[in-house]
Structure 1
Amino acid sequence: MKVVTASACDEAEAAVADVYLPNRLEKLEPGALAMRLAAVRLGTTTVGQLGYGRRMRLVTEEAGHIHVNTPVAGTVVSRVGRSAPLMTSSRQAAVFPVGEAAHIEWSQDAVQLCIMIPSSTLERELEELLGHSVKRPLHLPFHMRLDTPEGRVWRSMVNVIAGEISTRGRLLSHPSAGRQLERTLLDALLLGHAYNNVQKPNRPDLPAAPVAVMRAIDLLHDRPADAWSSTVLAREAHVSVRSLQSGFLKHVGKPPMTYLRDLRLAGIHDELTRASPGTTTVETVAYSWGMVHLGRFAAAYRQAFGELPSHTLRRHPT
């Protein structure tokens, strides 16, 4: 296990860069740092417990791997790409995608278990779970709830690893035990968060639809929060905008952007139905699905489900 302490920003930046990725620190309050990082490798996965002892802002470069940050103390506000800021504590975690920079603000008492997983490792584990190959990149929702039955499994894994790090337990230092712990950790992430989310809402059964239409539908389901337009989607599907529009109208019954709106609304409705009003806001869920115009979103949601999204959230407390 590697343990590093630092009292200066440049030392702390170097330590985090050595274990995770290049970064820049900004002090949000006066005083010296009391940074402590204890990190260990479990197979190809890096697990570390990190705290700064001061209110700090961490800005990273674009990530080359998947990162999952779970607070074990204090509160953290994270933002990635176009997502809305996400406040995490003991009941939420943040999942950072490959290819995006992150902005993370730590409270003075914040300590996080920071896990870095190569995409190839996670995809191989998913293929093992499914029993077949995965042809599309895995999309992980930014917000991971830990107050659900599946989320509590992840929380328990975090508690075990944090305890082992604090006590320098043998579970982390033994190679065979470490590999087994890595697989258990990956399975908890896939079965409790990633896999459940990427499977719904289900893609329509359109066996006679052209390949380009099915490819476009797959793209929308894989990345519903992206800033899609008909032009961008047509380019990704390798057809003209007119061909895409006519293909959707013939085989799906609606234009591609209407299909995307309905896909997002269904996903948001499902998430709000299962969410707890005490830990979730309508805005956070809407932003996570790519709905950036909240007024238009609320009107479309009410038309689709006969109630405002805030009513769905309050009516179905978890």
Structure 2
Amino acid sequence: MIENQPPVGNAPATSEAASEHDRPSSEPQFVYQGDDQTALQGILDSAFTPHATEVIGRKPLNARFKVVHQGKIQVYDLSYGTDVKILPVRPPAYYAIRIGHAGRAAITHHGRTMPFSPTIVSPGQVLSNTWGADAAARIMCVPRDLVDDAVRGELGDAPTSPVQFENLLDPRVPDIANWLRLATLFSTMIDSGVLDGPSLAAAHFEHLLVHTLLRTTQHELTDALAERRGTAGPAALRRAMAYCEDNAARPISVAQIAEAALVSTRTVHELFRTHLNSTPLAYLRRVRLAGAHADLVAIAEGNAAPRTVAYVAQRWGFPHTGRFSRAYREAYGRFPGETLRPRSTSPNDEGETDIPFPAPA
């Protein structure tokens, strides 16, 4: 018995239906409930990937397939009501994450049997699985482009091939256990109806799930992501910082910094606050003060043409010389005119370039 089947997976849909599908919806919808294997197979092939289903149990098929959440990420509940064996005919083009199950079930990959959940099947992988009559699973399907976008945001470039996650999500690993709790919270909020209806909340939650999955699990980009996090933070922040450094002598705005970082002005503010405990304009001022300091030292050492403090201040975006002098003194402990004086060999002058970049205010 098929009940008002919505467009699922790659199933064709009218433009009106497709528009509905694009909006996150967390209201559960039974797509199929019954014993018609042919009908069920067609629906599941569209929702997941073409696969062969072999009923190996004595009980008749009594399947239940429910759409739990439809957004950029899809969440489904599935059970067969009898023992079955599943073998994909074509590898999936998405990430299938079994975030939980009840009953007897197992996955086999290259002859190795592993727990049914929590596991990830990445695009291109072919895994067979068996379901007991009492098995029921919640499956989260994540499109490859969401993972690619997350990689691009972290590393600056999208991967040339699908990220391959380790299949088993081992809850004994603290970070993975935390991600599973997050996925469970998402699942619980779906069930409670909190995410029902048009809302940005579900979309933000999906974004969080994908980015944290990338950061907490093992895959071929794990080391690169860890290295990036240990240095300058997310790629968007690095782009914003680079733009400030490359354009410090020009009049630039927060909107321009955000545009260069490929994020909103609100996001760029959050990035600087979270990772640098600063603001975009405060960081820009630090860059400008560092540039002015370098110029003054170069002039004092005879490595640059003689210039006045006012000239250097104007060059680095400080139109008011008095304010520049006060900001410079706060950062470097002396007025710019003192730095500009010819260098002597006295001990007090030997540390002139000890602070190449002003500390955050």
- TM-score tier, shorter chain, comes to 0.5 to 0.7
Q: Counterpart of 1:73 in structure 2: which amino acid?
A: A
Q: Deviations over 1:168-198 (max 9, x none)?
A: x141443412211211221232122146973
Partners of 1:185 and 1:103 in 2: how far apart? 26
2:290 is aligned to: none
Partners of 1:64 and 1:165 in 2: how far apart? 25
2:108 is aligned with 1:79: yes
2:182 is aligned with 1:154: no
Q: Counterpart of 2:181 in structure 1: which amino acid?
A: S
Partners of 2:189 and 2:44 in 1: how far apart? 20
Q: Counterpart of 2:58 in structure 1: which amino acid?
A: P
Q: Counterpart of 2:108 in structure 1: which amino acid?
A: R
**For residues 129-144 of structure 1, what are the structure 2 equivalents within 5 Å?**
130=154, 132-137=156-161, 138-144=163-169
2:33 is aligned with 1:5: yes
Q: Does the residue aligned with 2:217 lie in a helix, a strand or coil?
A: helix
Alpha-carbon contact 1:75-1:87 (below 8 Å) kept: no
Alpha-carbon contact 1:35-1:50 (below 8 Å) kept: yes
Shift of the alpha carbon at 1:58?
1.5
Alpha-carbon contact 1:153-1:188 (below 8 Å) kept: no
Q: 1:21 aligns with which of 49, 53, 57?
A: 49
Report which stretch shifted further, 1-10 or 24-33: 1-10
Mark the CA change 1:188 to 1:76 in structure 2 (over 3 Å): closer, same or farther: farther
Partners of 1:44 and 1:127 in 2: how far apart? 17
Q: Deviations over 1:95-136 (max 9, x none)?
A: 1121233311112222222122221211212332x2522444
Partners of 2:61 and 2:82 in 1: how far apart? 6
Q: What TM-score do the two structures reach when normalised by structure 2?
A: 0.48
**For residues 273-312 of structure 1, what are the structure 2 equivalents within 5 Å?**
none
Alpha-carbon contact 1:6-1:34 (below 8 Å) kept: yes
Alpha-carbon contact 1:146-1:152 (below 8 Å) kept: yes
Alpha-carbon contact 1:69-1:115 (below 8 Å) kept: yes
Q: Counterpart of 2:133 in structure 1: which amino acid?
A: Q
Identity among equivalent pairs (%): 14
Q: How many residues align?
A: 197
Partners of 2:189 and 2:39 in 1: how far apart? 25
2:99 is aligned to: 70
1:283 is aligned to: none
Partners of 1:196 and 1:101 in 2: how far apart? 19
Q: Does the residue aligned with 1:199 lie in a helix, a strand or coil?
A: helix
Q: Counterpart of 2:29 in structure 1: which amino acid?
A: K
Mark the CA change 1:83 to 1:192 in structure 2 (over 3 Å): closer, same or farther: farther
2:202 is aligned to: 178
1:48 is aligned to: 76
Shift of the alpha carbon at 1:164?
4.3
Shift of the alpha carbon at 1:166?
4.3
Mark the CA change 1:31 to 1:75 in structure 2 (over 3 Å): closer, same or farther: closer
Partners of 1:150 and 1:197 in 2: how far apart? 16
Q: Does the residue aligned with 1:145 lie in a helix, a strand or coil?
A: coil
**For residues 232-243 of structure 1, what are the structure 2 equivalents within 5 Å?**
none
**For residues 102-251 of structure 1, what are the structure 2 equivalents within 5 Å?**
102-128=127-153, 130=154, 132-137=156-161, 138-167=163-192, 169-194=193-218, 198-199=222-223
Alpha-carbon contact 2:106-2:116 (below 8 Å) kept: yes
Partners of 2:197 and 2:159 in 1: how far apart? 34
Q: Counterpart of 1:79 in structure 2: which amino acid?
A: T
2:119 is aligned with 1:94: yes
Q: CA RMSD in A?
A: 2.9
Partners of 1:149 and 1:69 in 2: how far apart? 19
Q: Counterpart of 2:92 in structure 1: which amino acid?
A: A
Q: Does the residue aligned with 2:112 lie in a helix, a strand or coil?
A: coil
Q: Counterpart of 1:12 in structure 2: which amino acid?
A: L
Structure 1 residues not aligned, in runs of 5+: 204-318
Q: What TM-score do the two structures reach when normalised by structure 1?
A: 0.54
Partners of 1:183 and 1:189 in 2: how far apart? 10
Tell me which structure has the larger Cα radius of gyration: 2
Structure 2 residues not aligned, in runs of 5+: 1-27, 228-361
Q: Counterpart of 2:173 in structure 1: which amino acid?
A: T
Mark the CA change 1:74 to 1:63 in structure 2 (over 3 Å): closer, same or farther: same
Alpha-carbon contact 1:38-1:165 (below 8 Å) kept: no
Q: Counterpart of 1:119 in structure 2: which amino acid?
A: R
